[in-house]
Amino acid sequence: MGNVRGSDYLDARVIEINPQLAQDILKKAHKQRPVSQGHVADLANSMSPEVGEWCIAQPLLFDREDKMFDGQHPILGVIRSGQPQKFLVIKGFDASVIHAVDRVRVRSLADYLYMLGETNHHTKAKVIRMEARYDAGLMPTSTGGAFKLTTMQGIAFLESHPDIRISVDSAPGMVNTYLPRAMSCWCHYQFAKRDRTAADDFFVGLTMQDSAGPTDPVYLLRQRMISNRRAKSGGRMPQKEQCALTIKAWNAVRQNKPMAQLKWQWVNGERFPEIL
């Protein structure tokens, strides 16, 4: 540890910190970056007895005057959750190292999927979140809000929904589709629950230029998506509309129903379509 400034004075140990001790630590702590309440909420959620995902990982860092200079978010998580937690606490750093912390990048669900050997990890992470939101009765393409999915919950969700891997890794028509990749994979996953062969045929047909004519739902969807790609960025459809149109086209195919036009009037209050 000769290259660590102040290393001769370091004291590292595991300490249980309860909400009262957390308050005391914060009172004398160095001023740190602005607090992210969303990050605090995520940490508090991981510390709750219902989730129970908190583990000793990143240490809390203190200077030689016993003032914390890194770790305010997990400490605030203890206060918010009301649950005592164990931390690796390292004390005795020289003040000169305070501005050298926080140079690590937070690992995302996609990062952990990659570490677990999953292929197409970025797409899988997006599909997992879409399906988890849909399972919770929310629009799959929405983001933010009160919905939370921790990394460990996302990994467990994939294990309980293993066919997501099929739709992301090996379903035909996913790579060259006119739709965003994750959205295509999520739609395929949902459609395959009803009929896997029909789902494969639907997306293969979407990538091809032949059709049954201008009233073919797949043809109409393809034309809408081609126009959307050509539109300037400010004039492109939001993802929720692209997703809704894909579902409506699928429903029409399932019902063997020709269509004069394909549209979703969400601006006029039309509900997000159910999947047939």
Residues 261 and 197 in one domain: yes
Residues 164 and 95 in one domain: no
Q: How confident is the model at residue 7 (pLDDT cuts 50, 70, 90)?
A: low
* Cα distance between the two ends of the chain: 63
Total domain count, the chain: 2
pLDDT the model gives residue 1: 41
pLDDT digits (tens, 9 = 90+) for 132-187: 999 999 999 987 677 888 888 999 999 999 999 999 999 998 887 889 999 999 99
CA of 33: how far to CAs of 72, 87, 102, 105, 258, in Å? Answer: 9, 20, 10, 16, 58
Is the model's pLDDT at 197 over the cut of 90?
A: yes
Residue at which a domain ends, from 45, 66, 100: 100
Residues 65 and 198 in one domain: no
Q: Is residue 276 part of a domain?
A: no
**Angle 148-151-152 (CA atoms, 0-180°, nearest 5)?**
105
Residue at which a domain ends, from 49, 79, 100: 100
Q: What mean pLDDT, rounded, does the chain reach?
A: 89
**Separation CA 16–CA 114 (nearest Å):** 32
Determine if the pTM surpasses 0.85.
Answer: no
Residues 126 and 233 in one domain: yes
Residues 71 and 121 in one domain: no
- Specify the 3-state DSSP secondary structure of 86: strand
Residues 122 and 66 in one domain: no
Residues 96 and 145 in one domain: no
**Separation CA 78–CA 64 (nearest Å):** 24
Most confident of 148-152, 211-215, 222-226: 222-226
**H or E element in which residue 182 lies:** helix 181-194
Q: Is residue 274 part of a domain?
A: no
Residues 241 and 144 in one domain: yes
pLDDT the model gives residue 2: 43
Residue at which a domain ends, from 57, 82, 100: 100
> Domain span at residue 94?
7-100
- Specify the 3-state DSSP secondary structure of 69: strand
Residues 213 and 113 in one domain: yes
Residues 84 and 215 in one domain: no
* Helical axes 181-194 vs 239-254, angle rounded to 10°: 30
Residues 145 and 253 in one domain: yes
Q: Is residue 184 part of a domain?
A: yes
**Separation CA 163–CA 124 (nearest Å):** 11
